Amino acid sequence: MISIKKFINNPAIPAEYRANFMHMYFDIGWFGVLSGSAVNFLNVYATRIGASGFQIGLLGAISAIISLIFAIPAGRWLEKRARGQAVFWASVFYRVGFLCYIPLPWLFGAQGQIWALIVIGLLMGIPLVGLSVGFSALFAESVPAEWRAYVAGVRNIVLSVMFMISSLVSGYLLDRIAFPLNYQIVFLIGFIGAAMSSVHLYFIKPIPGQIQPENPTRAPISPSNGANPRPGWRAAIRADVWKTPFRSTLLVMLVFHVAQYLAIPLFPLYFVRVLHLTDETLGIGTALFYLAVLITSTQLNHLVRRIGHKDVTGWGVVGMALYPGLLAITSQVWQYFAVSLLGGLVWALVGGASTNYIIEKCPENDRPSHLAWYNIILNASVLTGSLLGPVIAQNISLPTALVIFGILRGLAGFAILRWG
């Protein structure tokens, strides 16, 4: 039997790293509370009050629109600031948005609530850019390279445990408390988790030896040579990143994320309108998903050491093709539970290895700008997939769309293995 406590409190961890690692674990644990409650049931809530497929897609896409606009400025902003403080304050301004979900049923009717959720998502998207770009850089600076796979695996374990607990509790409450008070309580639980996660982000500090100097090739032009001291637009947007080997990584991850997000907005529609699952059943399904993530994550460090972050990511994405494909032929609750277990198994590989795979591909002295471009392709994929997925499904049926999007995920996984 695996001892989770021993896995987290590994005596081999040097004393100077332990505080950072523990705050990393608490951060993701409280994030698991947020994810298993407010985030997990937000689209389900919108679906139950009558949101269309387009509105569900827009809920996922709206923050992506903001990220596409602000990702490059966020990367440049982060280059000039202490990463820990910047990430903390970005998380605070982003996560206060979850508090705004709670009073919506008292203020608006069904359609008013749906559009209010979309507007809140729009506003939350601005600080989310800094959080998304900054956390990857902070992770690289606060966790030494030799410990990143280990810490990522433990974070997946902690996330899985807390997600399971919060999703089961949320599903139980949703089925036993009158609507809409039940969802308001779940949103409150999510906000508490979000706030506590930010508290622990505050205490994560970069390790001096991990902080790299700025890219020397990007020194400003001296006015003494008669050149314009203000950088041109190409320099401002860092288009030079696309001339580096990182371009291949960006392209294969673009293919993956488009395939990933084409399917995501279809899941709540399929759960509610085809399978007619209750909130408690959905809570059990997500708990099983993260139980599989938990079990797989305990072996992630060993697997990464054998084949590397890139191959773990690639094979995980290939496995992710099975989830939408099998879901399309699911008609019984037990089948939904089985598909959830399989989905968690392969997602543990992608979720645990992909961040480190991206970090490995970034130059150590120029991470924020490279990560900003990754954030751009991620959010372009969220935008494209979230809006196109429901439109395609409306024209060819939900099950057919799920099968097609599953095949695209598989092809993306092989692209990562071949060209990533």
Find the mean pLDDT for residues 2-19: 64
Dihedral over Cα of 100, 106, 112, 113: its sign: positive
Band (321; pLDDT cuts 50, 70, 90): very high
Find the mean pLDDT for residues 173-184: 92
Residue pair 36/161 in contact by the 8 Å Cβ criterion: no
**What pLDDT digit, counting tens, does each position of 124-165 carry?**
888 888 787 788 778 888 888 787 778 887 887 888 889 889
Q: Which two tokens stand for residue 229?
A: 């001291």
How many C-beta atoms surround the C-beta of residue 18 within 10 A? 12
Phi and psi dihedrals of 227, rounded to 5?
-80, 160
Q: Mean pLDDT: which of 194-208, 235-249, 320-334, 378-392 is highest?
A: 320-334
Class of domain 14-208+241-419: mainly alpha
CA distance 133 to 145: 18
Whole-prediction pTM value? 0.71
Q: Residue 325: what pLDDT?
A: 92
- Enumerate the domain spans of the chain: 14-208+241-419
Phi and psi dihedrals of 141, rounded to 5?
-85, -20
Phi and psi dihedrals of 352, rounded to 5?
-85, -25
CA distance 237 to 381: 19
Find the mean pLDDT for residues 203-208: 81
Any alpha helices (H) in 143-232, and if so which ranges? 148-176, 181-202
Find the mean pLDDT for residues 63-72: 75
Band (356; pLDDT cuts 50, 70, 90): confident
13 has pLDDT over 90 = no
Q: Residue 76: what pLDDT?
A: 67
Residue pair 142/17 in contact by the 8 Å Cβ criterion: no
The three-point CA angle 49-343-404 to 5° equals 75
Residue pair 371/250 in contact by the 8 Å Cβ criterion: no
Find the mean pLDDT for residues 36-46: 90
Q: Mean pLDDT: which of 11-15, 26-30, 350-354 is highest?
A: 26-30
Residue pair 68/379 in contact by the 8 Å Cβ criterion: yes
Band (211; pLDDT cuts 50, 70, 90): low
Find the mean pLDDT for residues 343-348: 92
Q: Which two tokens stand for residue 326?
A: 């099998």
197 has pLDDT over 90 = yes
Q: Residue 32: what pLDDT?
A: 92
CA distance 300 to 152: 9
Residue pair 220/229 in contact by the 8 Å Cβ criterion: yes
Find the mean pLDDT for residues 40-57: 87
Q: Which two tokens stand for residue 331?
A: 């008609």
Higher-confidence residue: 360 or 216? Answer: 360
Q: Tell me the chain's radius of gyration from C-alpha atoms.
A: 21
Mean pLDDT of the chain: 83
Strands (E), 330-416: none
